[in-house]
Amino acid sequence: MENKYNEDGYLVVRENHCCEHWEPDDGALVPMRECWCCKWSKFNAEESRLISESIGICIYEGNRENIEVCR
């Protein structure tokens, strides 16, 4: 599947997505190996301006799209 990015260049992820940079979220008692339980995910629909709560963004810099900086 092709990666999608939001307007800020952050990777758009689903709850059950996972990647090699996964790290458990501090608040999860038994964290499953998926974005929902990863400390790098954000599933706040308003903040990321996404339609569904099951779709969020990954704020891990290594997964961010390369954005050309205006000079």
Q: Which is nearer to ligand SF4, 7 or 16 (CB)?
A: 16
Q: How far is CA 49 from the centre of its chain?
A: 13
Cross-strand pairs, 14: 55
Is 69:50 a contact under the CB 8 Å cutoff?
A: no
Helices (H), ranges, the chain: 45-48
* One residue of 35, 53, 67, 71 binding ligand SF4 per CB under 6 A: 35
Binding flag, residue 55, ligand SF4 (CB under 6 A): no
Where do contacts with ligand SF4 occur on this chain (CB under 6 A)? 11, 13, 17-19, 21-22, 35, 38, 40-41, 58, 60, 63
